[in-house]
Structure 1
């Protein structure tokens, strides 16, 4: 039976990560970052390994030539090994964005961003999976930036970017602290949902809670808008209850002042294990001179993404909306 390229890569990532995990007494995900870096650099960088382990690793690495694989094959295999590692040691905020969702975000970025080169920012970049899913779909010159507070995730994102040869600037910091980045043309983010524990920092935001902790996802939206040029677009994966929370009226006011809602695409609840976890893609445009709202926002109830006939019908509807609203 023929093994697919993704399976070949998965096997090498997985087996070499296990070897390193055992020898370095580290977690599987830490070992995965190490083996990815070895593959990218074409050498074994860990000096404390035994001679036998070095031989074992070399034998594995010789079986693989990265240049023979597409970026998507590398991304998918790397994503699968990360998912394996996360199952062993999962933290609630580290859920990876499903591929079908990432593909749709990429499609929307491609449709809205008319310019041939632009700056793209993901303020909750995680392992870089959503960002590289989008970059692999864009036929444009994109200067991209990612920020994440988790040092292990940012290391995995760095290796992910290297293996796919995407030049991404990565910063390991709290995205809600001051960011020293130039304004961007577009933002993508699978928003981290929950409360932000740092009330002092939150007080610098218009969307801070009047009492108690503020919602991190609200602050992420405001921080993203701050760093976007006038007329720039923001593509957020949001919880369906975004506008129904106790702090939603503040959010509506903020939107009225600062952004235009271009579209809301809702995923079917059947895609999610629990109905309360259901999500949508919200497309915003930052207000500015000569920025006109669409005749009507693009509102779509998405079918099951595996239903090709229904998806074709929806994509035709979206294309029609672009012809009427985005000349």
Structure 2
């Protein structure tokens, strides 16, 4: 992968998006989704564009041949353009999971599902799809059938266009993930848990982790919904706030988890990745209970070093390998 390839594709996405943004009076992020879809379809889908704009955009598209790019180059260029758009219009639900976390998640899923040549993955809070795309690319050449769900129609459109550019087999659903999901249970769930309150008290009351009065924690409900849509013996990989098990209603969550899953591991991410200790996160790994599935002899507990510290990371990966041999 070369930075010049990423940069050249980013420039094409960026410059064509700016033309679409101005002419169609849409946001930059909307324009990125539009131009990505144009590139994938190898044509201009916006009929209302002027002939001059169509010629300018076509000329830019001719500068790149997607067939010559690696999927990771496409993902990174697309991610850069989305990050640019997010800086202009920052919303709390438009935060992107960092690459380093996606790569770590990909590594862990590969370890826990090492015996599977093909498997299914669900991300119930898929956002722009960057986490899911990173995982799929990182696990190549395994055959992965993926499902991404998000309530935000712009984010799901960006995720859809990005998956198309990378030729990834992903089904996307634009809906509230805490409503009924019409998807088959999967081998693995991955999710950067949306933290906060869920406003639909009637729907929340149908969950074991729903509260009898007041708003329930959305992140608790996402965990329960994910467990329900995981195959017996399947795995769940969550990015969780460090205070998940010490916050209000954590006792209720703990009781639920004891009933339905075996906790496999908790990997605390380096504090340097976050603005403050309060916003720090960890990776929680669980396995859904099933006949013949036993809990690990010892839970994998890891304090991850700075991911840029290659020697320290190598030592940690050796420790994780050792855990698989001794305790899994």
State the TM-score, normalizing by the size of structure 1: 0.98
Q: Does the residue aligned with 1:294 lie in a helix, a strand or coil?
A: coil
The one-character-per-residue Cα deviations of 1:222-265 (angstroms, maximum 9, x if unpaired) are 00000001100000000001001111000000011000000000
Name 2:244's counterpart in structure 1. Answer: 242
Name 2:22's counterpart in structure 1. Answer: 22
Once the two structures are TM-superposed, the CA of residue 136 in structure 1 deviates from its matched residue by 0.3
The one-character-per-residue Cα deviations of 1:58-82 (angstroms, maximum 9, x if unpaired) are 1100001001111111101111110
Name 2:138's counterpart in structure 1. Answer: 137
Name 1:37's counterpart in structure 2. Answer: 37
2:205–2:212 CA contact under 8 A, matched in 1 = no
1:209–1:247 CA contact under 8 A, matched in 2 = no
The one-character-per-residue Cα deviations of 1:266-286 (angstroms, maximum 9, x if unpaired) are 011111112211000000000
Unpaired segments ≥5 residues, structure 1: none
The one-character-per-residue Cα deviations of 1:275-312 (angstroms, maximum 9, x if unpaired) are 21100000000001001111101100000110011001
Name 1:158's counterpart in structure 2. Answer: 160
C-alpha change, 1:3 and 1:146, in structure 2 (3 Å) is: closer
Name 1:116's counterpart in structure 2. Answer: 117
Name 2:48's counterpart in structure 1. Answer: 48
Once the two structures are TM-superposed, the CA of residue 3 in structure 1 deviates from its matched residue by 6.1
Report which stretch shifted further, 285-294 or 207-216: 207-216
Once the two structures are TM-superposed, the CA of residue 210 in structure 1 deviates from its matched residue by 3.8
Mapped to 2, the partners of 1:21 and 1:171 lie a distance apart of 25
Once the two structures are TM-superposed, the CA of residue 115 in structure 1 deviates from its matched residue by 1.1
Mapped to 2, the partners of 1:11 and 1:322 lie a distance apart of 44
Name 1:219's counterpart in structure 2. Answer: 221
The one-character-per-residue Cα deviations of 1:20-43 (angstroms, maximum 9, x if unpaired) are 000000000000010000000000
Unpaired segments ≥5 residues, structure 2: none
Name 1:208's counterpart in structure 2. Answer: 210
After TM superposition, which residue ranges in structure 1, 4 or more long, deviate above 2 angstroms?
none
1:125–1:131 CA contact under 8 A, matched in 2 = yes
RMSD: 1.0
Name 2:283's counterpart in structure 1. Answer: 281
Name 1:300's counterpart in structure 2. Answer: 302
Q: Does the residue aligned with 1:136 lie in a helix, a strand or coil?
A: helix
Mapped to 1, the partners of 2:298 and 2:11 lie a distance apart of 48
Q: Which of 233, 254, 261 pairs up with 1:231? A: 233
Q: How many residues align?
A: 325
